Amino acid sequence: MRDFLPDDVRRRQYVIDVVRRVYERYGFEPLETPALENIETLTGKYGEEGNQLIFKVLKRGEGESSGVADLALRYDLTVPLARVVAEHRGKLPKFFKRYQIQPVWRADRPARGRFREFYQCDVDTIGSTSPVVEAEMIAAVSEVLQALGFEDFTVQVNHREFLRMLLSDAGIPESRHGDALIAIDKLDKIGADGVVADMAARGLSQESARAALENIEGAVDTLFAESSGWSTHPDGTATAAAENLLRIFTLCEATAARGHVKFTPRLARGLSYYTGAIMEIVVPDLPGSLGGGGRYDGLIGMFSGEPIPACGFSLGLERILVVMGERGMFPPDVQASGPDVLVTLFDAPSIPDSLRLAGELRGEGLRVEIYPEADKLGKQFKYASARNAAYVTILGADERARGEVTIKNMKTGDQTSVGREYAAQRIRTER
């Protein structure tokens, strides 16, 4: 786990502020949940592997010695949302659009862009099955990335039920879909023959392996060609899935996502709770994704008893930061730290007046640091330089007698005296 020093926090805060601003404009509202959930709320929601990665908290009092854990650290933002919706249903609007930007914890082995404590930026819409929900969500995350300066991202979109049809039609039973997809995912790297061999090694027949690959590779044509025949496919769920996908693509063309959406038939998404459209955002220079999501119409029902449709998307703050850092995408003022002004202390008697000067400059909105001791001026200037201060003020006996202050521009080295009341104005104009 990591400490974030000031320059780190500034970059994180910049991205979070952009995400928040865009999500607010899309009508999403902020939600925050506690870091600790009851352990039963989390267990059984993330699969066997996920269970292992949950941080568990010892019960207090006697529990501490007995080793019993009753609380656990938030593992994602989706399960807490489902709990909140079930718990506070009466207080929430019919369509609840929320965003949530908070850390989650996983007892994972750290790697590049993967940490045991990391922030997720989630948007979810609860209460509607309309494809407008998916389109709006894809538009919102696209606009976040555009506002951060990304142009080359792709929103990969698929549908759980359409994918199921492609594999089932190839004769692969549902219980083996997971194995098939792991192999198919390597297509770009190892080619079609490699994938067939891999599937065979996993105990799938060569024929169904080739057929599945063919179905996946031909899926774009299958979906978009009028004559492809999916509309008369006997599997009604798959037919509805295809219609749903086509509708989402049409709607996306009317949004900020236009030109960024790509039907990606082999996209599977790991988590098991998705029931409809699934999506993932990728950029060329990062293995893995910047975020992903999908429709999960069954999860909330696990908490509330009644089925409530939902669709969500999670952006990974840490991965966005990694790519932005490597590409140098942060605006200059986010990178440059340092105060606008360092107020030096000339001597002991002048200190109260220097504090007053600092107050005046802060009142004008400037970021002002005071050197805390009446050290030698040379030492104070050296510190100002190390702190990357833009200006330094000197308030000596002469200046005080004249009601003036000497201002030094640390970049140009220029030094001038101005009336106290004009100091802030002078600094702001020059900057």
Site for a copy of itself in 74-133 (CB under 8 A): 84, 87-88, 91-95, 97-98, 103, 105, 107, 116-117, 125, 128, 130, 132-133
Burial (CB count <10 Å: 0-12, 13-18, 19+), residue 267: buried
227-256: contacts with a copy of itself (CB under 8 A):
250-251, 253-256
373-402: contacts with a copy of itself (CB under 8 A):
373, 383, 386-387
In the complex, least distance from residue 363 CB atom to a copy of itself, rounded to whole angstroms: 9
Stretch that binds a copy of itself, among 180-188, 233-241, 347-355, 392-400 (CB under 8 A): 347-355
In the complex, least distance from residue 339 CB atom to a copy of itself, rounded to whole angstroms: 5
Q: Which C-beta is closer to a copy of itself: that of 134 or that of 198?
A: 134
48-67: contacts with a copy of itself (CB under 8 A):
52, 55-58, 60, 64-67
What would the x/- binding string for a copy of itself be over residues 327 to 346, using CB under 8 A?
----------x-x-----x-
DSSP, residue by residue, 55-110: -EEEPSTTHHHHT-EEEEE---SHHHHHHHHHHHGGGS-SSEEEEEEEEEE--PPP
Q: Say how many residues touch a copy of itself, by CB under 8 A.
A: 89
Q: How far apart are CA 262 and CA 279, in angstroms?
A: 10
CA atoms within 13 A on the CB side of 403: 3
In the complex, least distance from residue 179 CB atom to a copy of itself, rounded to whole angstroms: 27
Q: Which C-beta is closer to a copy of itself: that of 195 or that of 313?
A: 313
What is the longest distance spanned by two Cα atoms in the chain? 95
Task: Tell which residue, 75, 19, 113, has the closest CA to residue 318.
Answer: 113
Q: Choose, by CB under 8 A, the member of 2, 112, 327, 428 that binds a copy of itself.
A: 2
DSSP character at residue 114: B
In the complex, least distance from residue 409 CB atom to a copy of itself, rounded to whole angstroms: 18
Q: Choose, by CB under 8 A, the member of 71, 163, 166, 170 that binds a copy of itself.
A: 71
In the complex, least distance from residue 403 CB atom to a copy of itself, rounded to whole angstroms: 16
Q: How far apart are CA 427 and CA 405, in angstroms?
A: 12
In the complex, least distance from residue 10 CB atom to a copy of itself, rounded to whole angstroms: 7
How many angstroms separate the Cα of 311 from the Cα of each of 129, 155, 277, 295, 315? Answer: 8, 15, 9, 4, 14
Residue 269 in tokens: 């998404």
Q: How far apart are CA 346 and CA 334, in angstroms?
A: 32
Residue 182 in tokens: 């792991």
Q: Count of CB atoms within 10 A of residue 41's CB?
A: 18
Q: Choose, by CB under 8 A, the member of 110, 355, 385, 398 that binds a copy of itself.
A: 355
Rule CB under 8 A: say whether 40 interacts with a copy of itself: no
Task: Tell which residue, 33, 138, 110, has the closest CA to residue 76.
Answer: 33
163-222: contacts with a copy of itself (CB under 8 A):
none
15-34: contacts with a copy of itself (CB under 8 A):
24-27, 29-34
**Please, which residues bridge with residue 58 across strands?**
69
Rule CB under 8 A: say whether 136 interacts with a copy of itself: yes
Q: Count of CB atoms within 10 A of residue 37's CB?
A: 20
Rule CB under 8 A: say whether 4 interacts with a copy of itself: yes
**Please, which residues bridge with residue 114 across strands?**
111
In the complex, least distance from residue 313 CB atom to a copy of itself, rounded to whole angstroms: 15
Q: Which C-beta is closer to a copy of itself: that of 229 or that of 331?
A: 331
254-293: contacts with a copy of itself (CB under 8 A):
254-256
Q: Choose, by CB under 8 A, the member of 169, 217, 353, 430 that binds a copy of itself.
A: 353
Using DSSP's 3-state secondary structure scheme, residue 343 falls into: strand
Q: Which C-beta is closer to a copy of itself: that of 203 or that of 372?
A: 372
